Amino acid sequence: MITLKGKSVFGGVAIGKIAFYKRKEQQIKRIHVEDTQAEIKRFEEAKAEAIEQLKGLHEKALANVGEANAMIFEIHQMMLEDLDYNESIHNIITTQEVNAEYAVGTTADNFAAMFAAMDDAYMQGRAADVKDVSERLVAVLSGEGEGGLHTDEPAIIAADDLVPSETVQLDKSKVLGFATMYGSSNSHTAILARTMSIPAVIGLGEELSPNFDGKMAIIDGFSGCVYVDPDEETMKAMKEKQEEDRKQKELLNELKGKENVTKSGQKINLYANIGSISDIGLVLKNDAGGVGLFRSEFLYLENDTFPTEEQQFSVYKKAAESMAGKKVIIRTLDIGADKQVDYFELEKEENPALGYRAIRICLTRPEIFKTQLRALYRASAFGQIAIMFPMITSVWEVKKIKEIVEEVKKELREEGITFREDVEMGIMIETPAAVMVSRDLAKEVDFFSIGTNDLTQYTLAIDRQNLKLDPFYDPHHPAVLEMIRIAAESAHAEGKWIGICGELGADLELTETFLKMGIDELSVSPSMILPIRKKIRETE
């Protein structure tokens, strides 16, 4: 048995023979042409046909994976229409008097290299896209059909990597799962794979050999492992894991569309925690009522410099639109403590958990804060966005935040930019100080969300990053639960709602306790939505 370790893209267990994806090798030859205008016309006709193919793929993707994930094929159409891209191809044909295939291939190589060299992770990802659309063009020009999967029986698809157009065209009835040598968990391919619920592992490296074609294998999408020629013991264990997963999915599917209501009629909202726009598919797939925590700091962690207003606006807008009217609560940047970013140039601190972080950075560096707030308010015109502020300890902080918010709204009005005036504003309750003044804080905001990870850390005076202290770290500690109860009581006394977005929200042992406290919302990882719904519906 050979064990390969990679990165999980989507959980699940797939058992079957490996089929290596046979991609047509495009041998592009440089051919001298006499009539360059005729060659340009041939290119333009091929481009029109490629655009029609992409429109068809877009329609298919809309039906299979939804609008947000089908957008890649609209982006590919736009790439084919890009002026710089077209001008490069025209120039190479005209000046070098060569065939269109060669001009497209050369342009693709140049553009892909340019994108790959950029610092921005999003732009780096476009290198694969420009290659994908160019290969489609060359296939049309050379009269080749589209590549694809050719297997008579369901199989585990293996490849060096799969581009979006290949992934969406996979016949799901023939695909048990897929494994790739390369790829990124934030790529369009990974997003589509998650949304299509195909067990997948990427980044297996060149140990994933084409020599494995036809061999029996197992993908364990939960652990990120692929077993080639599995032994009897591994096969037995994986079949049991697969059966357990199947039963769980059946159970969860039965709960989709059901209310989060106890037997006695008490209702609670179930929302999802996400770290990036790519997680939206999981939110929808697991039937969450909304997004209760969008960790915006990942925009900063993934960048080499401060994300611009436009970058942030694009992400927040897409999140709002993708959730189609459901609430999306976006937490302003929570940098500091265990989340360090070099370009913030934060000084080394003796105790960063108690240091310069989150709202403390925002209030002392308002230019960073205002950029994010402008992007958030602009995006509010496209859906149900709410804004949440982390690490609050005092009423004055909230009042200062509200002053800055008013300045931003005034600027946007003067610039004639549309936004929603009634955006809900809430705060994280994650310090004992916030709990103790929670009644006063509730007068200033629309909602509370309890960050139980930090609240436990600060209440117990235990660094949650210190593994030596694990035996002492008790999130079920009576003091922690009492803090949550007090915050809930304060919120309700002022007519405000309260949720929990920390790890404790997904703790099934505490669901009933939270219901008794009157917690209005639980926000958890997408995979925990339906198990918690089950627990709620079974509770008296």
Residues acting as catalytic residues: 188, 501
Collapsed DSSP state (helix, strand, coil) of residue 198? coil
**Contact predicate 493/443, CB 8 Å:** no
Exposure string (b/e) for 65-103, b if CB count within 10 Å is 16 or more? bbebbbbbbeebbebbeeeebbebbbebbeeeebbbbbb
Which amino acid, residue 445?
V
Return the DSSP state at 267: B
Q: How many CB atoms lie within 10 A of CB 229?
A: 12
Residue 136, phi then psi, degrees to nearest 5: -65, -45
CA distance 313 to 299: 11
Tokens of 152: 């008579």
First-to-last C-alpha distance (Å) of the chain: 50
Determine the Cα–Cα distance for residues 107 and 96; give it in Å rounded to an integer: 13
Q: How far apart are CA 334 and CA 428, in angstroms?
A: 11
Locate 298 and state its tokens: 């990942």
Q: What's the chain's length in residues?
A: 540
Beta-bridge mates of residue 523: 271
